Structure 1
Amino acid sequence: MSKKTISFLSNTITHSFTKYFNKDFYVIHHNLDSIIETLNSKTDTDYLIVILDNKFFFENFVIKSIAFEIVEFLSELLKVFRKQNNAKILISNIAYDFIDINSALNIEEYKNLILLNEKIEELSNQVADLAILNIFNLANRIGFNHFFSLSNSLLFQAPFTKEAIKLITSEIKKKIDVFNSLRKKVVLLDLDNTLWGGIVGEDGFEGIKIDENYPGIAYKYFQNQMKYLKKSGIVLCIVSKNNFAEIEDLFNNQDMPLKWNDFVIKKINWQNKSQNIIEIANELNVGIDSMIFFDDSHFEINLVKDTLENIDVIKLDSNNPINNLGIIERLPFLNSIKITIEDENKSSQYLSEQKRITIRKTTATVDDFIESLEINISYWINNKSQLARITQLVNKTNQFNLTTKRYSESEISHFMNFNQVFSFQIKDKFGDMGITAVVIVIDNKIDTFLMSCRILGRKIEEKIMKIILNQTTKPLSAEYIRTSKNSQVENLYDKFGFRLVSKDKSKNVYILEMQ
């Protein structure tokens, strides 16, 4: 794999700092004083790292009156840069070590600093493919005395200590990994010695460890981490060899961060765990490769890994559970650059889906089932407020995806400027499934047609195609590009009345002459 290019736009990052990147990247340096020129030009780089200099925002140990205007100006510059460049952008927020001579003044300035960083945080919603490098958080993690060096700052204009440089370097690499990783959809959790210490069947409710004392506090912290993952859009499921009724009773009577309803599917039985995982994948309609399995047992971990080759597995340490608490931050495919509204509602949407499945089993025909759902479809064309969600769908949808083309936020934003990007929100009587379908039309050609697996089997694609066809009077071309995962839609355009123009091993090409 060829090296990618990383460009630093900073006065405070020295060449000695970037030695940590030379092995994996070509490194380019730009002085922050040339920020207007740099951001107004087209540059051949994959990642732009902007480390903001405190001197632009502070004077005489207080925040400048124009600090917020500077962020506004920076936003406009970054938008100009985005129009000309596809590079992923990381921009730092601000950390500042106020001189400790007046506590009241410091408190007021810290309030202003928080507001300033909130303003910088808004850039991630204003500019596509932009994430925040949280230097403020890093400085608070180790303390300002360990993060900043006054002597280095005055002598060399290099304010960071060696410890800070290592932290910043690690954070940049982590963000780049997150940019490049496809986020997991489902976390599968064992119970005994995973969510609590001890074995319910042997130790009883009173004997398990989940309290304020070690090791119980470590398990409690781990549960809170799982709760956070759920809130960020990852679905939690249980895969455990236990008695179902006993575990349900435990959750209902034990005070724990995770509640019974936090789990979308609960496979609590004595069946092979690999089989349980396959069943969960089928019930959620997701791929095995979009799941990650946590267990403390070498036997169970190895059995699942040997049986399901595409799944990621994590062996937890039951002897010293505090070692488990750093795992989430180290796994880029559990992290996300942005959290969408759909992410926040993901678990409730899957729980609603379980209700639909129950109704389907009691309905005579598919058409009766679809009619009973009372489906409503809303759509938008080139809605940039939905850019993050559209990009998310484009880059993770595999099964109902006619071309499986992957695009960055900036590329989709460009399509919106000159073409048609349709986004579809699906609701029914059980709830709002959110933005779950995308169609991109470029020069009278359907470039992308995809739907989330959560809305399949309801003939929604037929209604979407009618909406697309109502937007044009010209011939519309399309293609189906084969992948290992999208065979279910191979004949979709044939069903819609498109004429097959050509066909080979890689794709089918179609055209529809408008009446």
Structure 2
Amino acid sequence: MPDAYKIEGMIDLDFCSADELLLRRRSLRRELSAVDGLQELRIAVLGGSTTDQIVTTLEIFLLAAGFQPVFHQSEYGRYYDDAVYDPQTLIDFRPNLVYIHTSCRNVRNLPPLNCTESQLPGYVETELNRFKEIWDSLDARVGCQVIQNNFEMPPHAILGNMDAVAAGGENRFLMELNVAFAREATRRPRLLLQDVHGISAKVGLRNWFDWTLFFNFKLLLQPAANLELARSLNAMIQAIYGKSRKVLVLDLDNTLWGGTIGDDGVDKILIGRETPQAEAYTAFQEYCLSLRNRGILLAICSKNDEDIAKAGFSHPDSILKLEHISCFKANWEPKHENIALIAKELNLGVDSFVFVDDNPAERAIVQAQIPGVAVPDIGNDVTHYAEVIQAARYFEPASLSREDRERAALYASNLQRADQAATFNNYGEYLDSLDMSAEIDSFKPVYLERIAQLTNKTNQFNLTSRRYTLAEMEVAMRDRNTIALYGKLSDRFGDNGLISIVLGRRDGDTVHIDLWLMSCRVLKRSMETAMLDALAERALGMGVKVVRGNYLPTAKNSMVADHYSRLGFQPCPQPSLPEGATAWQLNLTGYVRKNSHIRVLEYTHV
């Protein structure tokens, strides 16, 4: 991320109030806009009410996240018309993302009070179809990611409690419609659903609508509601572009359990169900484990003797066990130094870390010494730890792939591979001992979501660091002049999943590599040579004689600066490249396969 962290007096956007943000909005916008390295992001907002306030709030969050947002807003209430009847303005704007901002007031097909159970599905389907027309039109004509909110409950329950039960109740109808929206989102890769129903429940409907503003200016929501919507949207957009956090780094004493294990011993630490405080620590461990089970890595950073620290996980009531921890650092070194070591061992940037410690001094030191690490002010009351972490939406997913759910297990397998490597003197023998097999093939629809996700997440092994949307990947898959390859890798320790992508564009007798990336968890396994072999065979089958590729340096991808030279490419200077970039080419005449350690199971021969 850019150096927004260095802005003097920068407020904590994760936890600031609406009043605080509104007061400083102009100065924050000016200061954040001046930060170097912002990524342009074009967002079209189609509103059922006036969207100015949510846009201006969202802009601050996106600037702080490293984006330079450019907005287009529809006129009041024209969310349907601009998408279905008159989409040319949207097409000309070329958005990366369309956000459809609607509320329960925009629902048009409410059932009558005397609606029957058999009639209710028809009303739901009619309203759903109206939105399906919007999504279908955007998909066909604009072709970008769409975020659509579901619906908050109405301000008035005309039937009282029966409003949630009766087929003619508005609450009941909106709940049914929200379920229909959710089902539709699972069928549409380009459609993401913002849970306005959940957000409004947390904020409270009394703090949600502002009827004075609405009837005077068509501004429906209170500032606090707009703030929470903006936080939610920011988290979703960061997830789309691979900027969600991936690692939860945890202190131990008075964070994962009550008491000091070095003084109190395993038997005396507070964990379990016997006391209210012990149960609160158990609940926080359960929360951490639930994050781990959906793919967030857990790491330990504690000032302690390692053996004593590890003993805490042997407590019979401990929910977390040592096998749940991807990296364990317990010693007497400064915590910021240990966090840097954790980042190195996991091969992840510190901007993917969240550090949780009950000690405010330790939090302050880490925040000062490692810009980029998220350090929530959790206080020292364990009953609020999960609430504070969750409120900041650090770990927002855009999707849940198999690789996401199994990420912690994949990193655990990597530790086994590292231990195995230490038993071999010859690295080639070690690679052979892994019994690796790869599937390398052209893009397939079933993998497109993971391919787009990997494109936007991978930073270190990425030769150009270009980002592609799902729609762009779909175009590449269908283009006969594009070589679009994915690679999956397995070995005797487990399946690493889809971990590499190469995207090449044919121009005459040359293929230009626009994208070459790989997950860092399979570094130094020779997967890059297997991908090159597949690329070369595809290129030769198309009559191509030369493959060219550029290395465009970023703050994170220096590890692949010599990638092309290691694969036998020769320099071919191009004056038009930016400073520090290099250009390379490989003559395919007489090409000899380079991979000797991976058994390639399948790829389509041309």
Q: Which bin holds the TM-score, normalised by the shorter protein?
A: 0.7 to 0.9
Corresponding residue number in structure 2 for 1:179: 237
Unaligned runs of 5+ in 2: 1-32, 35-39, 61-69, 590-606
Matching of residue 499 in structure 1 with residue 567 in structure 2:
no
CA separation of 1:72 and 1:190: change in aligned 2, threshold 3 A: same
CA separation of 1:262 and 1:108: change in aligned 2, threshold 3 A: farther
Q: In the alignment, which of 464, 471, 475 is matched to residue 403 of structure 1? A: 464
Corresponding residue number in structure 2 for 1:283: 345
Q: Which amino acid aligns with 2:73?
A: I
CA separation of 1:121 and 1:289: change in aligned 2, threshold 3 A: same
Matching of residue 236 in structure 1 with residue 292 in structure 2:
no
Corresponding residue number in structure 2 for 1:510: 584
* CA contact 2:235–2:244 (8 Å) conserved in 1: no
Instruction: State the shift of 1:479 in Å.
Output: 1.5
Q: In the alignment, which of 170, 186, 195 is matched to residue 228 of structure 2? A: 170
Q: Which amino acid aligns with 1:81?
A: L
Matching of residue 59 in structure 1 with residue 111 in structure 2:
yes
1:201-216 aligned within 5 A: 201-211=262-272, 214-216=276-278
Aligned residues: 510
Q: Which amino acid aligns with 2:256?
A: L
Q: Which amino acid aligns with 1:28?
A: Q
Matching of residue 93 in structure 1 with residue 156 in structure 2:
no
Matching of residue 36 in structure 1 with residue 110 in structure 2:
no
Corresponding residue number in structure 1 for 2:513: 446
Instruction: State the shift of 1:367 in Å.
Output: 1.0
CA separation of 1:421 and 1:32: change in aligned 2, threshold 3 A: same
* CA contact 2:111–2:123 (8 Å) conserved in 1: no
CA separation of 1:463 and 1:267: change in aligned 2, threshold 3 A: same
Corresponding residue number in structure 2 for 1:48: 98
Say which is worse superposed, 430-439 or 471-480, in terms of deviation: 471-480
* CA contact 2:162–2:169 (8 Å) conserved in 1: no
1:17-32 aligned within 5 A: 21=57, 28-30=73-75, 31-32=78-79
CA separation of 1:177 and 1:19: change in aligned 2, threshold 3 A: closer
Q: In the alignment, which of 478, 482, 485 is matched to residue 553 of structure 2? A: 482
CA separation of 1:157 and 1:307: change in aligned 2, threshold 3 A: closer
Secondary structure of 1:471's match?
helix
Say which is worse superposed, 342-351 or 200-209, in terms of deviation: 200-209
Instruction: State the shift of 1:392 in Å.
Output: 2.5
Q: Distance in 2 between matches of 1:155 and 1:297?
A: 48
Secondary structure of 2:582's match?
strand
Corresponding residue number in structure 2 for 1:137: 198
Matching of residue 435 in structure 1 with residue 498 in structure 2:
yes
Instruction: State the shift of 1:439 in Å.
Output: 1.0
Q: Distance in 2 between matches of 1:282 and 1:439?
A: 25
Q: In the alignment, which of 252, 256, 262 is matched to residue 191 of structure 1? A: 252
1:53-452 aligned within 5 A: 55-61=107-113, 63-65=120-122, 67-68=124-125, 71=128, 74-75=131-132, 77-85=134-142, 88-96=145-153, 99=159, 100-101=161-162, 105=166, 116-127=177-188, 130-141=191-202, 166-167=224-225, 169-180=227-238, 182-211=243-272, 214-318=276-380, 320-418=381-479, 419-443=482-506, 444-452=511-519
Corresponding residue number in structure 2 for 1:9: 46
Q: Distance in 1 between matches of 2:401 and 2:208?
A: 32
Instruction: State the shift of 1:430 in Å.
Output: 0.6
Instruction: State the shift of 1:175 in Å.
Output: 1.6
CA separation of 1:29 and 1:103: change in aligned 2, threshold 3 A: closer
Q: Distance in 2 between matches of 1:467 and 1:262?
A: 37
* CA contact 2:112–2:168 (8 Å) conserved in 1: no
Cα deviations by residue, 1:199-220 (Å, 9 ceiling, x for unpaired): 1223344543345655444433
* CA contact 1:397–1:450 (8 Å) conserved in 2: yes
Q: CA RMSD for the aligned pairs?
A: 3.8
Q: Distance in 2 between matches of 1:433 and 1:261?
A: 18
Instruction: State the shift of 1:23 in Å.
Output: 7.5
Cα deviations by residue, 1:302-338 (Å, 9 ceiling, x for unpaired): 44445545544345312x3344333323435432222
CA separation of 1:46 and 1:508: change in aligned 2, threshold 3 A: closer
Q: Percent identical across equivalent pairs?
A: 23
Q: Distance in 2 between matches of 1:5 and 1:482?
A: 24
Cα deviations by residue, 1:70-96 (Å, 9 ceiling, x for unpaired): 546744642442454366532022445
Secondary structure of 1:334's match?
coil
Say which is worse superposed, 208-217 or 439-448, in terms of deviation: 208-217
Q: Distance in 1 between matches of 2:136 and 2:303?
A: 53
Instruction: State the shift of 1:431 in Å.
Output: 0.6
Say which is worse superposed, 502-511 or 2-11, in terms of deviation: 2-11
CA separation of 1:446 and 1:307: change in aligned 2, threshold 3 A: same
Q: Distance in 2 between matches of 1:38 and 1:79?
A: 14
Q: Distance in 1 between matches of 2:563 and 2:101?
A: 48
Instruction: State the shift of 1:231 in Å.
Output: 2.5
Matching of residue 466 in structure 1 with residue 528 in structure 2:
no
Cα deviations by residue, 1:337-394 (Å, 9 ceiling, x for unpaired): 2222111100000111111111111123111111111111113423233233222222
Q: Distance in 1 between matches of 2:225 and 2:320?
A: 31
Secondary structure of 2:490's match?
strand
Instruction: Give the TM-score normalised by structure 1.
Output: 0.84
Q: Distance in 2 between matches of 1:23 and 1:484?
A: 24
* CA contact 1:481–1:507 (8 Å) conserved in 2: yes
Say which is worse superposed, 306-315 or 348-357, in terms of deviation: 306-315
* CA contact 1:93–1:134 (8 Å) conserved in 2: yes
Cα deviations by residue, 1:245-297 (Å, 9 ceiling, x for unpaired): 44444323342443332211222233443443333233222233433322222
Cα deviations by residue, 1:441-492 (Å, 9 ceiling, x for unpaired): 2233111111111111111111111111111221322222223433332333
Secondary structure of 2:326's match?
strand
Instruction: State the shift of 1:128 in Å.
Output: 5.1
Q: Distance in 1 between matches of 2:57 and 2:557?
A: 38
CA separation of 1:77 and 1:424: change in aligned 2, threshold 3 A: farther
